Amino acid sequence: MANPATIPMSTPQSTAGGGAQSQPPIATPAFRAFLSRFTSSIRQGLSQRRPWYELIDRSAMARPDNLTDAYSRIRKNLSYFKVNYITLLVVVLAFSLLSHPLSLLVLLGLFAAWVFLYLFRPSDQPLVIFGRTFSDRETLGALVVLTVFVVFLTSVGSLLISALLIGVAIVCLHGAFRVPEDLFLDDQEPVNSGFLSFLGGAASSAAAAAAPAVASRV
């Protein structure tokens, strides 16, 4: 039986059977597959972005006639510039977090807790903190409670929501004033393809890579 993993971890521990070295979470095949799939999805998505000069073409800007016209423009521009818009949202979020380094550190710590303590921790290594062994269910429950607390009961949540609202406002404002008549949507990419299709592809690929590690704990 494998020796329990302790917090903090110092050196990899040997299993009792064959003396094999246990791998840290970031060195496991599941974590490497997660990073590979996620980065591949991001690269594939970014390759679909439109030229930025089309986004900021001042000659194509005009005030919409009415709300119906503005809504129609937003839908068309969301479909055409969706990767560019998502990039803008990420930039706004990154700027907000960098301007509040404490919130950034809290989010990074929360992400690290999920990665090292649950998602990619070897299933044969129980979590031991201060001499107490925690089951996978207890670890998951504690991480869920911690996530809810950080996101909804601290300033981190309000910061994220504010940044998202600012980013969405910028996207909607540009989409309403950008005249889409000169834009040519691909046949395979209809207007109602969805603003979150790019994020959905990256998230599904990442989830597929993490699924085996999570399934082993259920």
What average pLDDT values come out for the chain (218 residues) when binned by 10 residues? 48 43 59 72 77 87 92 92 92 94 92 84 76 84 92 88 94 92 56 48 55 55
Three-class DSSP category at 19: coil
- Note whether residue 69 is domain-resident: yes
- Note whether residue 170 is domain-resident: yes
Please give the Cα distance from 192 to 208 (Å, whole number). Answer: 25
Task: Determine the pLDDT at residue 171.
Answer: 95
Task: Determine the pLDDT at residue 42.
Answer: 75
Task: Determine the pLDDT at residue 205.
Answer: 54
Residues contacting residue 120 through CB under 8 Å, at least 6 positions apart: 25, 26, 28, 30, 31, 34, 210, 213
Structure tokens at 61: 């800007």
- Note whether residue 129 is domain-resident: yes
Structure tokens at 191: 């207007």
Task: Determine the pLDDT at residue 19.
Answer: 44
- Note whether residue 3 is domain-resident: no
**What's the pTM value of the predicted model, to 2 decimals?**
0.65
Task: Determine the pLDDT at residue 212.
Answer: 55
**Residue environment code for 74-85, b if the CB has 16+ CB neighbours within 10 A, otherwise e:** bebbbbbbbbbb
Task: Determine the pLDDT at residue 118.
Answer: 81
Q: Angle 133-138-143 (CA atoms, 0-180°, nearest 5)?
A: 115
- Note whether residue 75 is domain-resident: yes
Structure tokens at 8: 């903090």
- Note whether residue 131 is domain-resident: yes
| Residues of the domain holding 157 | 47-177
- Note whether residue 213 is domain-resident: no
Q: List, in sequence order, every beta strand (DSSP E) within 112-172.
A: 127-129, 132-134
* One-letter amino acid of 7: I
Q: How many domains does the chain have?
A: 1
- Note whether residue 133 is domain-resident: yes
